[in-house]
Chain A
Amino acid sequence: MSEEYSLEIVNPEKSFLLKDDVTEVVVPAYEGEIGILKDHISIISFLKPGIIKVFSKSGEDSYYVNDGIIEFKNNNLSILTSLILNLKDIDKVKISEIQKSAEEELGNSEISDQERYLLDQKIEVLKSIN
């Protein structure tokens, strides 16, 4: 039995990635990482800033995402995100730019605890990349 399913990653500007030989995807969901294999139950979840790992027949890829929503249904995984970067050809300058703006935002005292948590996460992940 084949263990592959299809993955689609879209961001507002374009369809970022389309793959139909994915065996496992690990996403940084809101309440912890989730690994999704074939025939997973239908799920909708949020992503926090983190790394998406895609395992497929053709190899393994990692992407950084800022936020996002995933939907898994009938062995189709869709990931919607506003910002996604491939870790392979990542731009160090851009990363530190995002990190800097996140740190600035964190300095703003008016943000809620939830936002603070997300920003902390973001900075941590970005630091680990750099």
Chain B
Amino acid sequence: MASLDDLKKRISSVKSTQKITKAMKMVAAAKLRRAQESAEKGRPYSDKMNNIILNLSGGISDIENAPKLLSGTGEDKIHLCVVMTSDRGLCGGFNTNIIKKAKLYFQKILDEGKTLKIITVGTKGYDQLKRVYGDNIIERISFKESKNVNYFDADKVGKTVIEKFENKEFDVCVIFYNQFKNVITQIPQEQQIIPLKTTDEETNSPDDNYEFEPEEDEILSNLLPKNISTQIFKAMLENSASEQGSRMSAMDNATRNAGEMVDKLTIEYNRSRQAAITKELIEIISGAESL
């Protein structure tokens, strides 16, 4: 059995760990609220954007000449995967879940004999992917220095993607991120952004006659790159809310576990203290008796 001193030291070290995790939980909770708020505030923009694009793409009659960003290159050989993770650890399964989802997709792509290219956003994703897919990673981006998620960061990622698309470096682009559902649940998502997959949920009525200025296809070709940035921005917002949520629940668990550990150690400590006292008493009594 460990000595009393050792136990005491362990108890105090567990306690100070508990203090840290508790503080982290609190910080995550505050940040979560802010992240959630901005995720909600960002929604109208991406919804509106989506709506306009749907209205526009519905009106395009000439599929052949449609912008490449909408219709794709017509091939399906090179896949670009943008894996969005956090820059910091200690957030439970947050990063691992995204990576797992991404790896499944990577495997599928490679099994089909297609080429895989990866862009990692956030350092944690790079750390986890570099060993197996190090050769496939063509770029890594991190926004460690920006405090909050902002549109300009997302725009930077979007522009990189579009530039690579225009240089014909890939045919299909998929982004991976965690969708925030609630504090306990975050759902890893894969979303194809190039070519754009239009959901058929909102088919607009044919009598919507829009006046366009400038021409329809010019608007569309200007709008699509913006939409990519917007989608990435949305993913980043979801991601940051998920990260904080995940960290909060992870830290909550850690705090609870530390509490349990302290309880256990305290009992052990008291027992061995009791045992030491009893032993000493017995020694004294038996010493006195022998006199």
Contacts and interface: CB of A to CB of B under 8 A. Distances in A.
A13 interface: yes
Counting contact residues on chain B (CB < 8 A from A), the size range is: 20 to 34
Contact of A31 (B45, B150, B210, B213): B213
B6 interface: no
Given A13-B41, A14-B41, A42 B209 contact: yes
Contact of A42 (B48, B211, B230): B211
The secondary-structure label for the interface of chain B is helix
B240 to A, nearest CB: 13
Contact of B212 (A13, A34, A44, A82): A44
B213 to A, nearest CB: 4
A12 B51 CA distance: 15
B277 interface: no
Contact of B52 (A12, A15, A71): A71
A26 to B, nearest CB: 14
The secondary-structure label for the interface of chain A is strand
A29 interface: yes
Given A44-B210, A46-B214, A14 B48 contact: no
Interface string B209-226: 111111000010011001
A41 B223 CA distance: 21
Interface in A10-50: 10-15, 29-31, 34, 41-46
Contacts of B57: none
B174 interface: no
Interface string B189-213: 0000000000000000000111111
